[in-house]
Chains A and B, each alone.
Chain A
Amino acid sequence: MSVSNTGWTPKIVAFCCNWCSYAGADLAGSGRMQYPADVKIIRVPCSCRVNPLFILRAFERGADGVIICGCHPGDCHYTSGNYYARRRMTMLFSLLDYLGIERGRTRVEWVSAAEGAKFAKTMNEFVETVYTLGENRKLRDIRCRK
Chain B
Amino acid sequence: MPKIGVFVCWCGSNIAGTVDVEAVSEAMKTVPGVVFSTNYQYMCSAAGQKMIADAIHEYHLDGIVVASCSPRMHENTFRKTAQAAGLNPYMVEIANIREQCSWIHKDKEEGTRKAIVLAKAAVAKLLHNQPLQAGTSAVTKRCLVIGGGIAGIQTALDVANAGYEVDIVEQRPTIGGRMAQLDKTFPTLDCSACILTPKMVEAAQNEKIRIISYAKVEKVEGFVGNFRATIRKKARFIDENKCTGCSLCMQKCPSKKGRDEFNMEMNNRPAIYIPFAQAIPNVAVIDPEQCIKLKSGKCGLCEKVCSAGAINYQQKDELLEREYGAIVVATGFRPMDPSPLNELGYAENKDVITSLELERLMNAAGPTKGTLLRPSDLKHPREIVFIQCVGSRCDENTNRGKPYCSKICCMYTAKHAMLIRDKYPDTNVHVFYIDVRTPGKNFDEFYRRAVEQYGVDYIKGMVGKVAREGDKLMVRGSDLINNRQVEIAADLVVLATAIEPDPSARSIGTMLTASMDTNDFFTEAHAKLRPVESPTAGIFLSGVAQGPKDVPETVAQASAAASKVIGLLAKDHLVTNPCVALSDELLCNGCSQCEKVCPYGAITYENREVRGPGVREVRRVARVNPAVCQGCGACTVTCPSGAMDLKGFTNQQIMAEVDAICL
Report which A residues bind B (CB closer than 8 A): 1, 11, 13, 19-20, 22-23, 25-26, 28-30, 32-35, 37, 40-46, 48-54, 57-58, 61-63, 71, 74-81, 84, 88, 112-114, 120
**Interface pair B100/A41, CB less than 8 Å apart:** yes
Q: Which residues of B contact A46 (CB under 8 A)?
A: 632-634
- In which size bucket is the chain B interface? 35 or more
- Known A-B contacts: A29-B104, A40-B114, A49-B632. Give 9 more (CB < 8 A): A22-B70, A26-B99, A29-B100, A54-B651, A71-B515, A78-B634, A81-B634, A113-B535, A114-B517
Contact with A along B620-654 (1 / 0, CB 8 A): 00000000001111101110000000100101001
In the complex, A41 Cα to B98 Cα: how many Å? Answer: 13
Q: List 7 A-B contacts (CB under 8 A).
A: A1-B110, A30-B103, A32-B103, A35-B104, A61-B662, A75-B513, A75-B515
B636 touches A42 (CB 8 A): no
Which among B100, B600, B649 has the highest number of chain A CB atoms within 10 Å?
A: B100
Given contacts A53-B651, A76-B513, A114-B523, contact A58 B637 (CB under 8 A): no
**Which chain A residue lies CB-closest to B107?**
A1
Q: Which A residues touch B634, using CB under 8 A? A: 46, 48-49, 78, 80-81, 84
- List of 6 A-B pairs having minimum Cβ-Cβ separation, nearest first: A29-B99, A49-B633, A78-B632, A61-B662, A48-B634, A26-B99
Q: How many inter-chain residue pairs (CB < 8 Å) link A and B?
A: 151
> Within the complex, which residue of B105, B516, B535, B655 is in contact with A54, where a contact is CB–CB below 8 Å?
B655
Residues of chain A within 8 A (CB-CB) of B518 are 114
Show the binding face of B for A, using Cβ within 8 Å: 70-72, 96, 98-101, 103-107, 110-111, 113-114, 117-118, 121, 510, 513, 515-518, 523, 535-536, 579, 597, 599-600, 630-634, 636-638, 646, 649, 651, 654-655, 657-659, 661-663
Check if B72 sits within 8 Å of A23, measured CB to CB: yes
Chain B residues with Cβ under 8 A from A20's Cβ?
A: 515
Residue of A whose beta carbon sits closest to that of B70: A26
A48 touches which of B99, B632, B658 (Cβ 8 Å):
B632
- What is the CA–CA distance of A11 and B649 in the complex, to the nearest angstrom? 22
Expressed in whole angstroms, the Cα–Cα distance for A48 and B639 within the complex equals: 12
Of all chain B residues, which has the CB nearest A76? B513
Contact assessment for B105 and A34 in the assembled complex, using a CB-CB cutoff below 8 Å: yes
**Min CB gap B323→A, angstroms:** 19
Let me know if B658 and A37 touch, CB within 8 A: no
In this complex, what residue of A is CB-closest to B106?
A: A34
**Chain A residues closer than 8 Å to B597, beta-carbon distance:** 48, 80, 84
* Closest residue of B by beta carbon distance from A56: B658
- State whether B100 touches A42 (Cβ < 8 A): no
Q: What separation, in Å, do the CA atoms of A63 and B651 have in the docked complex?
A: 18
Docked complex Cα distance between A26 and B97 (Å): 10
Cα distance A100–B160 in the bound complex, in angstroms: 64
- In the complex, A112 Cα to B516 Cα: how many Å? 10
- A77 to B536: give the CA distance in the assembly, Å: 7
B658 lies within 8 A of A34 (CB): no
CB of B105 within 8 A of CB of A13, answer no
Asked if B72 contacts A22 (CB within 8 A), the reply is: yes
Contacts of B117 in A (CB 8 A): 40
A37→B517 contact, CB < 8 A: no
Q: Specify which chain A residues have a CB less than 8 angstroms from the CB of B99 in the assembled complex.
A: 25-26, 28-30
Nearest residue (CB) in B for A22 is: B72
Residues of chain B within 8 A of A1, CB atoms compared:
107, 110
- Contact between A48 and B633, CB atoms less than 8 A apart: yes
A51-B651, A54-B654, A78-B599 are contacts. A42–B632 as well, Cβ < 8 Å? no
Q: Which residues of B contact A34 (CB under 8 A)?
A: 104-106
